[in-house]
Amino acid sequence: MFGLSSSFALSPINWLVIFVCAMLIGMSKTGVPGVSMIVVPALAFIFGGKQSTGILLPILITADIFAVIYYHRHANWKHLLRALPWAFSGLILALWIGNEVNDVQFKRMIAIIVFVSISLMIWKDYGYKKEFTPDRWWFAALLGITGGFATMIGNVAGPIFAIYLLAMHLDKKSYIGTTAWFFFIVNLTKFPLQVLVWKNITLTSLSVDLMVIPAIAIGAWLGIFAVKRIPEITYKWLVVVITVVSAFLIFI
């Protein structure tokens, strides 16, 4: 296990994993949902639970910028503004809990949230019924708080927020644009909290993030153009299998 203080002593394999993770984050933000689920357990395995979120958050924000630039005109602000206050409540809850647990417990929380999110992703694709349209405050509150908690603890709120937006029957561009703005705003909010409270974002960790910006850009380009050629069902199940195995490894 490597701490942030020894980041530059990472092995070539570790650096390769980090670069691939950054590329996958770029892809996930520009149209390939679910792929970032692999990233969370992979980085937690290298850096530890809480420290890995400090490495990952600036990567996510950089990828969010690419997504917002490309899809900024397609956000549905009505649904966005309804969910955001509840998401901030989830952030605060997770901030407090994350400060009270040790790293082993933190990693296990990440693994559990990953398992739940994978289950939601599968349900969204195979069990979700379009007739389910709870356009009520409690639905935004429930998924907003849950999503805020999940994104603060493990950066894995994508499937949770996807359930919320799919229930609103948004078209493809509105869905991607609203998602891009939601996570851009939430991740920017998380940044000072992790710097000041969790103290897991430092100049050392940011130097690692700076080195993988090219990989994020490549991933963002692939997400927009190239990945459409991969058979969707094959790709999706590969993501699910690898993510479940990775989450299991950090849980034990």
Residue 4 included in any domain? no
Instruction: State how many domains the chain has.
Output: 1
Residue 40 included in any domain? yes
* Pairwise CA distance, residues 245 & 220, whole Å: 25
Which has more confidence, 142 or 159?
A: 142
Tens digits of residue pLDDT in 169-226: 777 778 778 988 999 999 999 999 999 999 999 999 999 999 999 999 999 888 777 6
Residue 120 included in any domain? yes
Residue 58 included in any domain? yes
Residue 3 included in any domain? no
DSSP state of 157: -
Q: What is the dihedral of CA 11, 112, 245, 51, to 10 degrees?
A: 0
Residue 2 included in any domain? no
Domain that holds residue 85: 10-251
Residue 97 included in any domain? yes
Residue 61 included in any domain? yes
Global confidence as pTM: 0.82
Angle at 148 between CA 36 and CA 81, to 5 degrees: 105
Tens digits of residue pLDDT in 28-57: 887 676 677 789 889 988 998 888 999 999
